[in-house]
Structures are given as structure tokens and as C-alpha cells.
């Protein structure tokens, strides 16, 4: 027990604090006696001394909110366990191992769970914020699925309240993180206090679907998307200038590397300033959920009229990322709940591409994934 409490204090960054539990820990007392802990505390103080007062204040504020979030989520999990399970379907998406997080997978086979096993995994996913040492902490854990529960009105209100509180705390943490400083400072401060923390898993929201509007079905699919952003010539030039600070690739002399970058820089600078450019970046494939709500009779009549006049109508469907299980509380009608299938990149490439303005197949420079727009004429 003493070893566990000492490890907890080190993980939470409570070493050296005037903390009653910390002082009472038998392992802490032993480490003090033999002089080891004073060295640990001194080293930690030296590490923390490199940060500004504002940075240290920000990490203290984040720690307070993470502690509050842990309490709120524990209450949420407890409230969910007091519910009756109507349906539970969850897909556990395998996480990439260390060093494989940038590889684009050709095939993903999620582990499908149902019933009590799915419910337990969904509840666990609500507090799954840390890495396990084997898998990359640069890639988030995704547990798409749905749990449909029935409970008393009081418990349903408690669940809604806890979800709102948790999401508010997550937003506060997200707003505080930039105050930690540079990217390296943010990483070091967060991981010194919360070892193996996966920040994106910590701050992403929970989703609970209330009885109204009535949900007809929840279906899951894979989102395969290329991120496209507008880029100006000036921005492209600036990015190439930044590459000049990068070390030369292995096997290439620094002088040759600088000459190549200068050549590419001149090429991009020669483009007309009004050239329309687009940056293309293929996003990591991710699970998505289609939430289809049930139309009222009035809405169905209105949609029929619109079809007769315009030969089109809006679908009552919203698409969102499915990183954590959806929670459906006390539905008034049965909901059709689907599961996430296997992702196959080869078959995915056969899908028809959306119409729209196209970019050239050749980038403006091999240094950047930026492409000129083709004329629409």
C-alpha cells in the first residue's frame, strides 16, 4: 500500500508539497530517512525553476481542474452503473504502437463488444486518458459505440449534470494549456505532473443524447478525409524559409541542402502573388457516427412539399466524430444501433470523389504538400 501511495504522489507531482497524505505515506517517510527523497525533491525543484511564475500558475490550475474532473467523472461512472442497460454496442479500435503512429493503416479490424462487456468498456473509456507504455501516446484511443440506458428521472438529471460539468472542466483545461508556453514546455510540464497523459483524450467532450429530439438510428462508418486549406504564396515562401533551419538529410552536405532550399524558394517566389494554392493533408482515418433523428408528421409533410417544388430536401442526419461512446438516456422509442465495420483502404479508394475545383497533381515544391488550383474554365 505504501509503495502505491508513494508512486501516486510522484505521478501527481505532489513530491515536496505540504500535504498531509504525502507526509503520512510510510514509503515517503522511509525515503526521507535515508535521504533519497530530498534528492528527488531537489531535482524536481531544479526542473521547475526553469519555468516562469505564469507557467507554474497555469500548471497548478490545470492540476486542480484535472483533480476536479476525476471526481466528476467517477460520479458520472457511478451514476451510469445504477442504470438498467437497454442496449450496449462498442467497437474497440486498435491503437498504433510506438513508432507506428504516422503510418496510414491499410486495414483496421475493430473488436466488437455487446451487452455488459460493451457497457463496462464504454464506462472505462470515459476516464481513459493515459497511455499504457506499449502504444503511442501521440495517437488517441477511440471507442466508438452506444450505450442506451434507463434510469430514474433523478439519476438521469444527475448524469446530464455531471456530463455538463465534465465538459466545462475539459474546456477550461484546454484554454489553460497554451499558457504553459512552447510546445516543449507544454509537454514537459504536463507529463512531469501526469505521466503518459494523452491530452486530446483528456479534453475531448462526452455526448449524451436526451429523449428529445427523438433519435431513429445511430450508424457508424469510417471517415476518410483529406484536409484542404487555402494558402497564399507569401505563406508558402515563409514555410520554405523555416525549413532552412532544419538539419540536412542524412548523407547530404549542409551546403548542398541550403542550395536546394534556395532553389525551391526562388521557384515559389516567382509565382504570381494572386496564385490560388491549397495545402492537402490526408487525415488519419477515424470512426464517425451518423445520428438520424425521427421526423415529426409536420416535418415529413414539409419535406414532401419541398421535394415536389425543388426536387431536393434536407436529411435529418448529423455526422460527428465517434471517439467515445454515445450515451442515450431514457429513449421514448426503440433506437436502431449499428456497429463499426472493418476499414479497408483498398476498397475505400474505389469510392467516387466529390465534385469541386481540382488542384494540380504536382506540388509547387517537393518540400511542401501545397498545390496550385486548376482553372475551372
Residue-wise pLDDT tens digits, 147-190: 999 999 999 999 999 999 999 999 999 999 999 988 888 889 99
Cα angle 213, 215, 221 (rounded to 5 degrees) comes to 130
Residue 354 pLDDT level (bands cut at 50, 70, 90): low
pLDDT at position 280 over 90: no
| Residue 292: pLDDT over 70 | yes
- pLDDT greater than 70 at residue 317: yes
Question: What is the CATH code for 54-212+320-336?
Answer: 3.50.14.10
Element (H, E) at 60: helix 53-81
pTM assigned to the model = 0.70
Main-chain phi, psi angles of 102, to 5 degrees: -90, -10
Average pLDDT over residues 49-76: 93
CATH 3.30.54.10 fits 228-278, yes or no: yes
Directed axis angle between helix 233-243 and helix 254-269, to 10°? 180
Q: Percentage of the chain with pLDDT > 70?
A: 77
Residue 118 to residues 87, 122, 208, 246, Cα–Cα distance (Å)? 9, 6, 17, 47
Q: What is the mean pLDDT of residues 353-376?
A: 74
- Asked whether the predicted pLDDT for residue 29 surpasses 70, the reply is no
So what's the pLDDT on residue 45? 54
Q: Is 109 helix (H, G, I), strand (E, B) or coil?
A: coil
Range with the poorest average pLDDT among 101-105, 217-221, 283-287: 101-105
Instruction: List phi, psi (to 5°) of 326.
Output: -75, 145
More confident residue, 25 or 32: 25
The winner for highest mean pLDDT among 51-60, 131-140, 270-279 is 51-60
- Element spanning 346, H or E: helix 345-348
C-alpha span between 129 and 197 (Å, rounded): 6
The C-alpha cell that represents 234 in the structure block: 507569401
Judged against a pLDDT cut of 80, whether residue 301 lies above it is answered with no
Annotated domain spans of the chain: 1-50, 54-212+320-336, 228-278
* Residue of higher predicted confidence among 242 and 128: 128
Q: With 50 as the cut, is the pLDDT of residue 298 above it?
A: yes
Is pLDDT of 268 > 60? yes
Query: What is residue 358's predicted lDDT score, i.e. its pLDDT?
Result: 76
Bridging pattern class, strands 336-337 and 215-223:
parallel
- The alpha carbons of the chain give a radius of gyration, in whole angstroms, of 26
Q: Which residues contact 75 (CB under 8 A, 6 or more apart)?
A: 158, 162
The predicted pLDDT at position 18 comes to: 44
Helix, strand or coil, per DSSP, at residue 306 = helix
pLDDT, position 95: 86
What mean pLDDT do residues 98-106 have? 75
**Considering only CA atoms, which of 375, 102, 374, 365 is closest in space to residue 235?**
365
Cα separation, 43 vs 36, whole angstroms: 11
> Mean pLDDT, the chain, as a whole number?
82
pLDDT above 90: percentage of residues in the chain = 39
Pairwise CA distance, residues 305 & 309, whole Å: 6
Report pLDDT for 131: 86
Contact assessment for residue 199 and residue 177, using Cβ atoms and an 8 Å cutoff: yes
Distance CA 120, CA 74 (A): 13
DSSP 147-200: EEEE--HHHHHHHHHHHHHHHHHHHHHHHHGGGG-SHHHHHHHHHHHSTTB-HH
Give the model's confidence band at 140: pLDDT under 50 very low, under 70 low, under 90 confident, else very high: confident
Q: Report how many helices (DSSP H) and strands (DSSP E) the chain contains, helices first.
A: 13, 14
CB 282, CB 104: distance < 8 Å? yes
pLDDT at 202 over 50: yes
Amino acid at each position: 500500500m505504501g509503495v502505491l501511495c508513494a508512486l501516486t504522489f510522484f505521478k501527481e507531482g505532489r513530491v515536496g508539497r505540504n500535504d498531509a497524505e504525502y507526509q503520512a505515506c510510510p514509503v515517503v517517510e522511509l525515503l526521507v530517512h535515508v535521504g533519497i527523497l530530498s534528492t528527488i525533491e531537489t531535482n524536481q525543484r531544479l526542473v521547475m525553476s526553469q519555468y516562469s511564475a505564469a507557467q507554474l500558475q497555469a500548471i497548478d490550475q490545470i492540476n486542480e481542474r484535472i483533480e476536479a474532473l476525476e471526481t466528476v467523472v467517477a460520479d458520472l461512472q457511478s451514476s451510469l452503473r445504477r442504470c438498467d442497460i437497454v442496449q450496449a454496442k462498442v467497437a474497440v479500435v486498435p491503437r498504433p504502437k510506438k513508432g507506428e503512429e504516422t503510418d496510414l493503416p491499410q486495414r483496421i479490424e475493430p473488436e466488437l463488444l455487446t451487452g455488459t462487456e460493451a457497457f463496462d468498456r464504454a464506462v472505462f473509456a470515459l476516464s481513459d486518458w493515459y497511455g499504457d507504455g506499449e502504444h503511442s501516446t501521440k495517437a488517441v484511443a477511440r471507442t466508438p459505440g452506444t450505450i442506451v440506458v434507463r434510469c430514474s428521472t433523478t439519476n438521469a438529471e444527475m448524469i446530464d449534470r455531471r456530463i455538463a460539468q465534465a465538459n466545462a472542466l475539459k474546456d477550461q483545461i484546454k484554454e489553460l494549456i497554451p499558457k504553459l508556453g512552447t510546445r516543449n514546455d507544454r509537454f514537459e510540464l504536463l507529463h512531469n505532473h501526469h505521466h503518459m497523459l494523452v491530452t486530446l483524450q483528456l479534453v475531448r467532450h462526452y455526448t449524451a443524447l436526451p429523449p428529445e429530439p427523438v433519435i431513429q438510428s445511430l450508424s457508424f462508418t469510417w471517415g476518410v478525409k483529406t484536409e484542404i486549406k487555402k494558402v497564399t504564396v507569401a505563406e508558402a515562401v515563409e514555410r520554405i524559409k523555416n525549413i532552412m533551419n532544419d538539419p540536412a538529410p542524412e548523407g547530404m552536405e549542409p551546403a548542398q541542402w541550403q542550395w536546394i532550399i534556395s532553389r525551391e524558394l526562388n521557384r515559389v517566389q516567382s509565382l504570381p502573388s494572386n496564385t490560388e494554392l491549397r495545402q492537402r493533408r490526408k487525415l488519419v482515418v477515424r470512426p464517425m457516427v451518423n445520428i438520424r433523428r425521427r421526423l415529426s408528421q409536420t416535418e415529413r409533410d414539409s419535406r414532401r412539399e419541398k421535394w415536389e417544388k425543388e426536387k431536393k430536401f434536407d436529411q435529418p442526419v448529423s455526422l460527428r466524430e465517434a471517439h467515445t461512446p454515445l450515451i442515450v438516456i431514457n429513449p421514448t422509442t426503440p433506437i436502431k444501433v449499428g456497429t463499426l465495420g472493418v476499414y479497408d483502404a483498398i476498397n475505400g479508394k474505389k469510392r467516387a470523389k466529390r465534385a469541386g475545383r481540382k488542384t494540380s497533381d504536382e506540388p509547387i515544391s517537393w518540400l511542401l504538400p501545397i498545390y496550385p488550383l486548376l482553372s475551372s474554365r
